[in-house]
Amino acid sequence: MNRGVYKILSNKPLTKDIYEMKLEGETSHITAPGQFLNILLDGFYLRRPISICDYDDETITIIYKVVGHGTEAMAKLEEGKSLDILCGLGNGFDTSKSGKKPVLIGGGVGVPPMYNLCKKLLSEGKDVTVILGFNTKDEIFYEEEFKALGAKVCVSTVDGSYGTKGFVTDILKDLEYDYFFTCGPMPMFRAIEKIAATSGQYSFEERMGCGFGACMGCSCKTKYGYKRICRDGPVLEREEIIW
């Protein structure tokens, strides 16, 4: 984990409520796709945990949804402002278990961590399929970015306004794959768990206090005892999860 000052390079809307922010600063503490950072905002006591979408040697890209006062304040931050950030938090995804044909399943704001994961799997020579799930066409983001990486991309919308009508599971049920990685809301997880044909990894979204395991506020019970989502997660393997 690294605590540092990061400069905002850009902060722009991708859809009505979804924003992409690019930050400049130390990235050496990021060791796996699926990790997150924790942002201190002026006027707010608790930091805001946001998953890392992508990074390189000097920059980090995050994507967040405006859902409350904190993220509303984030959306108003301008280029050039500096932020106090804890970086390289969480365990991230383990790509060594992916097999040759992994499928990545992202729902809504669960899409961003799939992007760097997709890049890593493709760099390892894997045949990657990405399923992106949204409520409606107007909410879709990063479809073209995933395609540009070279992955097969499928999109579902609940209202049928784009792609497959229905849910990510309506696409997943007809796919052949060796392993799955997913991030998104709990109802999507429960639906995936009912039909998934292989082992896999789930990245959970929980409310967090500290973000690095000290407060125990995000603990959950697994088959192997209690784990802290912020430190022992956010990624848990299918076999250890108690639904």
Vertex 37 angle, CA 117 and 90, to 5°: 65
Residue 207 has what pLDDT? Answer: 58
Residue 229 has what pLDDT? Answer: 76
Q: Which comes out higher in pLDDT, residue 2 or 117?
A: 117
User: Is there a single domain that holds both residue 78 and residue 156?
Assistant: no
User: Is there a single domain that holds both residue 44 and residue 142?
Assistant: no
190 touches 165 (CB < 8 A): no
- Domain tally, the chain: 2
Residue 218 has what pLDDT? Answer: 65
Q: What's the whole-number mean pLDDT along residues 93-106? A: 97
User: Can you give the residue range of the structural domain that contains 50?
Assistant: 2-89
Q: What's the whole-number mean pLDDT along residues 1-28? A: 96
Domain end among 28, 55, 89: 89
Q: Is residue 186 part of a domain?
A: yes
Residue range 41-81, pLDDT digits in tens: 999 988 999 999 999 999 999 999 999 999 999 999 999 99
Residue 137 has what pLDDT? Answer: 98
CATH number at residue 150: 3.40.50.80
Q: Is residue 194 part of a domain?
A: yes
Share of residues in the chain with pLDDT > 90 (%): 84
Residue with token string 């399929």 = 129
User: Is there a single domain that holds both residue 44 and residue 136?
Assistant: no
Residue 210 has what pLDDT? Answer: 59
Residue range 119-145, pLDDT digits in tens: 999 999 999 999 999 999 999 999 999
Sign, Cα dihedral of 201, 229, 149, 189: positive
User: Is there a single domain that holds both residue 14 and residue 68?
Assistant: yes
Vertex 167 angle, CA 163 and 169, to 5°: 110
User: Is there a single domain that holds both residue 83 and residue 117?
Assistant: no
Q: Is residue 23 part of a domain?
A: yes
Query: Which stretches of the chain are assigned E, i.e. beta strand?
Result: 2-13, 18-24, 36-40, 48-55, 59-65, 82-89, 102-107, 129-134, 152-157, 164-165, 179-183, 200-203, 219-222, 225-228, 235-237
pLDDT band at 223 (very low <50, low <70, confident <90, very high): confident
User: Is there a single domain that holds both residue 151 and residue 112?
Assistant: yes
Query: pTM of the full predicted structure?
Result: 0.94
